[in-house]
Chains A and B, each alone.
Chain A
Amino acid sequence: MKQITVPFLVLLAKALSGATVRWVDCQPDTCQRVYFANHTSHLDALVLWASLPKPIRALTRPVAAADYWRGGPVRRYMARAFNALLIDRKKIKVHNSPIDMMLREIGDRESLIVFPEGGRNHTDEMKPFKSGLFYLAKKRPDLELVPVYIDNLNRVMPKGEFFPVPLLSCISIGAPMWLESGENKNEFLKRAQSAVLKMKDH
């Protein structure tokens, strides 16, 4: 079943988003990475995941909100199909940190897709990044952090709409970055955010 639905979902995501993928200063690679992107639409995770080359896609798991992706059998099935790592946004506690869970899940093989803005953003300005990305980088300094800018997908399916309008979107993938030694949380998050924004104008 999954052999049929996964290619179908990938094709559907590509057709609806008309996404062009640009690898700027970065090459597709199966090494362990964290792709972090701006978040404007429910389609973000699916489209970004679908636009990765197949061998990378098989090793990459989008991190998504459990309250949305567990709502209803279709969404639940889709989340399983593209191997999403669901995080319960309401139950984040110190002893149950989602960062630890993510790291446990990916082991030393898989990559992640995260949206550090925390929720979808429907303004033109990007929201400040949540600190999760910083702790990921701190606990696993070997992970490549890859900034991604997703353009125009918010017009394909804006917040609160049910039907998508198949316009053309663009996904720009930038140069990998790491946590610098001695860099504090705010500096790092600001640098990460500007790396994403740089892809917007690139």
Chain B
Amino acid sequence: MQHLIATIQENVATESTVTQPALLDFWTTVMMLSVLVGLTILLTIGQFLKRQPESNFDPAIIRNFNKRVITWLTICVLLVMSLLFNKTVTVVLFGLISLWALREFITMTPTRRGDHGTLFWLIVGFTPFQYVMVAMNYYDLYTIVIPVYASLFIPARIAFTGDHKRFLERSAKIQFGLLICVYALSHTPALLYLDLVYWDSAAQSHLPWTGKTAGLLFYFIVVVQVSDMLHFVWDRLAGKHVIAPAINSTKTWEGVIGAACCTTLFGMVIQFATPFTWYGAGFMALIISVMASSGSMTMSAIKRDRGVKDYGTLVQGHAGVLDRIDSVCFAAPIFFHATRFFLNAN
């Protein structure tokens, strides 16, 4: 009996020490604050440029820039606020972003009457389930359910409705939407649950990392955004060789390569909130940048196929969440798995 009480007390004690330390430490806070300050400065610049005479700058570019900055400031503020609570709130936040992106994706993709039941189950079934699994840290489930089980469920559910017109096309579209908007994006909050080690050069071995995974999450988001921005800048300043004019007339090889190189350097500079060594951080930033470019190219191709320019303008007045997060979606699973592969503690 004595022993039992002692165990319980011990459990309670560890429980409280587990919940006690917030998700933030010094370097994570530095990271978050600099992101917020940086975005606020960009916002000020954007608002200043908006008031300039139209002859100096292309107003369409300024508008686009301002829209991006405002969206990202909103997302970052929400993210910081959710991290001040706990991980679960952050997961819920990403779940809601996923739902909104999926909504935009399906709205844009023509589905048929027979797909209604399938879509219903994606929204009330697979999407919440995926994020619950992330929040409960069931790695084995959340990496498998959508790519395997959902991709079997979708065509089967459509087949049961008896509508065979463009069957493969519809199954593929729905599966792709789920994969990008929900599965891929859910790997971003999953970063919070990683248990990592770092390479200690003095000890010449891997030691448990004591930093906060919130810093890792912010590292990821910031690198994706900076990569997008640098891509844009390089396209404007040095863009000569357009990659695929039929898909996107502004994306150039110079943009991809320039962004990749500069992002690598940037990733090395802000490695302080991560468990990576400086070259590790550079390598991760390189992967993120390449994936981010691939993401926006892919989404451009889909948009071009559907004959829309922005997901946002498809239905007027909506912010077009999918336009903002396409690069995050593509980079998230790769960054997650690379980090886990090199630095997983278990």
Contacts and interface: CB of A to CB of B under 8 A. Distances in A.
Do A and B originate from a single complex?
Answer: yes
Interface of A: 18, 20, 22, 122, 152, 155, 158, 161, 163, 165-170
Interface in B78-132: 103-104, 106-107, 111, 113, 116-117, 119-120, 123-124
B316 A165 contact: no
A51 to B, nearest CB: 11
Contact of B116 (A18, A158, A166, A169): A158
A159 B314 CA distance: 24
SS class of chain B's interface: helix, strand, loop or mixed? helix
B104 A168 contact: yes
Interface of B: 103-104, 106-107, 111, 113, 116-117, 119-120, 123-124, 314-318
A161 B318 CA distance: 27
Given A163-B120, A165-B123, A166-B103, A22 B316 contact: yes
Given A122-B113, A152-B107, A158-B113, A168 B315 contact: yes
27 contacts: A18-B315, A18-B318, A20-B315, A20-B316, A20-B317, A20-B318, A22-B316, A22-B317, A152-B315, A155-B111, A155-B116, A158-B113, A158-B116, A161-B117, A163-B120, A163-B124, A165-B116, A165-B119, A165-B120, A167-B103, A167-B106, A168-B103, A168-B104, A168-B107, A168-B314, A168-B315, A169-B315
Contact of B103 (A18, A20, A161, A163): A18
A58 B104 CA distance: 31
Given A152-B315, A165-B116, 18 more contacts: A18-B103, A18-B107, A18-B318, A20-B317, A122-B113, A155-B107, A155-B116, A158-B113, A161-B116, A161-B117, A165-B106, A166-B103, A166-B123, A167-B103, A168-B104, A168-B314, A168-B318, A170-B315
Nearest to A22: B316
Contacts of A165: 106, 116, 119-120, 123
Contacts of A152: 107, 315
B122 to A, nearest CB: 8
A162 B318 CA distance: 27
A191 to B, nearest CB: 26
B165 to A, nearest CB: 14
A169 B107 CA distance: 8
A22 to B, nearest CB: 6
